[in-house]
Amino acid sequence: MKVFKFGGASVKDAAAVRNVADIISLFKGDKIGVVVSAMGKTTNALELIVDALYHREKSTFDSLVEERKSFHIDIISSLFKDVNHPIYAEITTEFELLSKMYDARIPDNYNFEYDQIVSLGEVISTKIVNAFLNECNISSRYADARLLIRTNNKYREGEVDWNKTEELFKLNFIPVFSECDVQVIQGFIGHTSEGLTSTLGREGSDYTAGIMAFCCDAESVTIWKDVPGMLNADPKWFDNTIKLNRISFHEAIELSYYGASVIHPKTLKPLQNKNIPLYVKSFIEPHASGTVIQSSTSEDHLVPSFIFKMNQVLFSFTPKDFSFIVEQNLSDIFSRLAKADAKINLMQNSALNFSILVDEEKVSIEEIQRLFEDTYNVRFNQGLELVTVRHYDQETLDRVTTDKEIILQQKTRETARLIVKQR
Ligand code: ASP
Ligand code: MG
């Protein structure tokens, strides 16, 4: 069995859904578990609907629901010419249930409410895709992640119960392939032991593909994207990007740790554990080779990769009593940082100084100052960039530092990290 994942962009309109069916048709004779995200920007739209319900803004709620409904009905009308096709009623019913949620619930737990509503994006998209595949004579069944993927009760960030989930897939998913070739399942969503809907965190559909592949011992996973594969830099910051043909799980995990955003970071570990290769391929050019992520590290060093983080702020803490930065100071500094909920992108210490780099939008400079000023002198430097280069050489470092002042650098054999400022 193979696992395919189609994200929001690959089902953003009727033409895109037709393209998904065309791609699946290329794999006649295979059994395929197809993970699908919400269509286009539906998840963002549903987030606004949750806010409207939560803040009791009835007219906003109604108009947003109406807008999402017509978005989907437009897609359906282009895909299904028979106006009596049952999909019209099915999708209309989903939106009626959503409308009724406004009065049916007294919202008290935001995260719970969020999951009940935002999950509908995937429920609706998979119903449509499944119906359309059948329309194209692909023998497909709808599978429900709310019966298969078991999580704990941490709404919006459900943590997977692997044993239970594997059991459910073995019992209720794998055997269904004796009656069909394809099963379409929602990305991003799961259920708790009470049977309530949970979600796995934004952009979590890749992770669903990893979970399913792990639980079904799939032969491979393919993530179909609007890029030709994994690139060695984000084209937003870089001309002349190069496609990585073949990299190891280890390398892909490192890249995503440093901030490369092609694959949801949690996706890789379950695949690595069972040695299931992950292909990243273009849904625009499905015959092109894409990138394969697998266990061999032999090609990792061939192409340097660049990861940029913009809008960074560097804080430096110096003990007011001129004490050295040693273990005791460090644990004190970390406990203060934990209070500020600061996510550290890079850190460095010297005898009298401890520095951390964080995303400017994720911290409050005033709060950090307030938390430290009794014991430390606090300095900060805003408007910085963090550049990480994997498999660097001097030429690549020169390339990323032209017209820039280097504020700080750290190098290991594989990785160079530079904090730079535009001159
Ligand atoms: N639809 C969800 C989101 O946009 C999950 C995903 O697309 O991976 O976050
Ligand atoms: Mg999405």
The predicted pLDDT at position 119 comes to 98
Quick one: tokens of 82?
A: 């028979």
The predicted pLDDT at position 146 comes to 98
177-181, 201-205, 235-239, 294-298, range with the lowest pLDDT: 235-239
Residue type, 15: A
Task: Output phi, psi for 280, to 5 deg.
Answer: -115, 115
- Residue 265 C-beta-side C-alpha neighbours within 13 Å: 10
Q: What is the pLDDT of residues 315-329, one digit of tens each?
A: 999 999 989 988 889
Q: Whose CA is nearest to atom 8 of ligand 1?
A: 203
The predicted pLDDT at position 300 comes to 96
Nearest to 120 by CA among 39, 224, 16: 39
Q: 122 alpha carbon to ligand 1 midpoint, in Å?
A: 8
| Pocket of ligand 1 contains residue 124 by CB under 6 Å | no
| Pocket of ligand 1 contains residue 43 by CB under 6 Å | yes
104-108, 113-117, 300-304, 384-388, range with the lowest pLDDT: 104-108
Q: What is the DSSP track for 297-350?
A: -TTTTSS-EEEEEEEEEEEEEEETT-----HHHHHHHHHHHHHTT---SEEEE-
Task: Please report the atom of ligand 1 found closest to the CA of residue 208.
Answer: 8
| Distance separating alpha carbons of residues 14 and 73, to the nearest angstrom | 10
For a pocket test of ligand 1, which of 203, 208, 211, 262 has the largest count of ligand atoms closer than 8 A to its C-beta?
Answer: 203
Q: Is 90 exceeded by the pLDDT of residue 106?
A: no
Percent with pLDDT over 90 in the chain: 92
Q: Which ligand is nearest to the CA of 38?
A: 1
Q: Is 80 exceeded by the pLDDT of residue 105?
A: no
Q: 37 alpha carbon to ligand 2 midpoint, in Å?
A: 6
Q: Which ligand is nearest to the CA of 125?
A: 1
Q: What is the CA radius of gyration of the chain?
A: 24
Token pair 């999950």 in the structure block, residue: 119
Token pair 């061999």 in the structure block, residue: 296
If pLDDT is split at 50, 70 and 90, which confidence band does 411 have? very high
Token pair 């599978």 in the structure block, residue: 143
Report DSSP state, residue 402. Answer: T
The predicted pLDDT at position 237 comes to 83
The predicted pLDDT at position 246 comes to 98
Contact partners, residue 299, CB within 8 Å, separation at least 6: 245, 246, 247
The predicted pLDDT at position 236 comes to 86
Q: What is the mean pLDDT of residues 327-351?
A: 93
If pLDDT is split at 50, 70 and 90, which confidence band does 261 have? confident
Helix axes 42-54 and 120-135, enclosed angle (nearest 10): 140
Mean pLDDT of the chain, nearest integer: 96
Q: Is 80 exceeded by the pLDDT of residue 107?
A: no
Q: Which ligand is nearest to the CA of 204?
A: 1
Residue type, 105: R
For a pocket test of ligand 1, which of 10, 35, 43 has the largest count of ligand atoms closer than 8 A to its C-beta?
Answer: 43
Nearest to 246 by CA among 220, 283, 277: 277
Q: What is the pLDDT of residues 184-219, one digit of tens each?
A: 999 999 999 999 999 999 999 999 999 999 999 999
| Pocket of ligand 1 contains residue 210 by CB under 6 Å | no
Q: What is the pLDDT of residues 58-90, one digit of tens each?
A: 999 999 999 999 999 999 999 999 999 999 999
| Pocket of ligand 1 contains residue 203 by CB under 6 Å | yes
Q: Which ligand is nearest to the CA of 35?
A: 1
Q: What is the mean pLDDT of residues 10-28?
A: 98
